């Protein structure tokens, strides 16, 4: 079983890009180690690969490279201009995926 978690990150004001990237990578490594420890008795090995890059590209490339049958991706449900400005990782993943994609919508909060 393989797991890929892609996150969009923003560079904090005054923080060098390389320093921020290293900090995010260190946090991600810690989270990956925790997930592996919590799920070590699944019966099938769980592999975690930390990759930096545009989320949809990283996800679809890893699925193709590793022969995955399914990608599960979360969606925030943004609509209209906000979606156009932010882009859509889920939509891009669906368009470029070498396999089936399951889109899971998060909770919608009333505004």
Per-residue pLDDT reduced to its tens digit, 76-104:
766 666 555 555 888 899 999 999 999 88
CA distance 91 to 55: 11
Q: Helix (H) and strand (E) counts for the chain?
A: 4, 4
The verdict on pTM exceeding 0.75 is no
Note whether 59 and 8 are within 8 A (CB): no
What's the number of CA atoms in the CB half-sphere (13 Å) around residue 7? Answer: 11
């Amino acid at each position: 079983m393989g797991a890929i978690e892609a996150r969009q990150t923003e560079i904090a004001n005054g923080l060098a890009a390389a320093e921020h990237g290293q900090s995010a990578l260190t946090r991600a490594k810690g989270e990956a180690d925790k997930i592996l420890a919590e799920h070590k008795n699944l019966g099938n090995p769980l592999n975690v690969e930390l990759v930096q890059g545009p989320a949809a590209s990283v996800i679809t490339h890893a699925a193709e490279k590793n022969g995955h049958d399914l990608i599960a991706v979360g969606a925030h449900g943004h609509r209209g201009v906000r979606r156009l400005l932010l882009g859509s990782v889920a939509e891009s993943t669906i368009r470029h995926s070498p396999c089936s994609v399951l889109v899971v919508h998060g909770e919608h909060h009333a505004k």
